[in-house]
Structure 1
Amino acid sequence: MGETPGWARRARVVVLGKPECHLCEEAWSVVERVTDDLGVTRAEVRLEEVGEADREEYWDKIPVTFVDGRRHDFWRVAEDRLRSAIGV
């Protein structure tokens, strides 16, 4: 993957997902818990909001989690790995 997309830098933790996605809901739940606990910002970005190249890159990996603009994980979010990546 090339340069980090601007939308991936909207917050410390960004979740790229789509509506009616059970894995996205599970990921968001973990992200909410961790970011609330650590006091860091989070944002949710929908797949249809990103450019064509990013849709092609990530459509089969959602939810995709980004920490500080860098891809962290996809499909599932492990709470301990997310906490470690945030490093607060």
Structure 2
Amino acid sequence: MPRITLYSKPGCHLCEDARSVVDDVVGRLEASISVSVEEIDILGDPALQTRYGEEIPVVLIDGKMHTYWRVDPARLEKALKELS
């Protein structure tokens, strides 16, 4: 099962957009692929703030960087299908 990690922070409009894209893609795929999604607020961890503070939102798939700032739905869907 692919695992998506979304690093975000409150009040970030790009984070809201990324969350929406992730939710839409996962929702479309749920009949054929089971995907777990975890969203982590970087403000709760100084190390994450240092690492991702200027790049959020950040999307990882199975712990590997997929994208940051903007999430392309077609690219995300393709990456998830390749892992299934």
TM-score normalised by L of structure 1? 0.79
3-state secondary structure, aligned to 1:24:
helix
Query: Percent identity at matched positions?
Result: 39
Structure 2: runs of 5 or more not aligned: none
Structure 2 counterparts to residues 50-69 of structure 1, below 5 A: 50=45, 52-69=46-63
CA shift for structure 1 position 53: 3.0
Distance 1:38 1:69 in 2: 20
3-state secondary structure, aligned to 2:5:
strand
Structure 1: runs of 5 or more not aligned: 1-10
RMSD: 1.4
**What do residues 19-74 of structure 1 show as CA deviations (whole Å, max 9, x unaligned)?**
01100000000000111221212111101233x33321110000000111111100
Counterpart code for 1:47 = I
Distance 1:56 1:35 in 2: 29
- Greater relative contact order (CA < 8 Å, ≥ 6 in sequence): 2
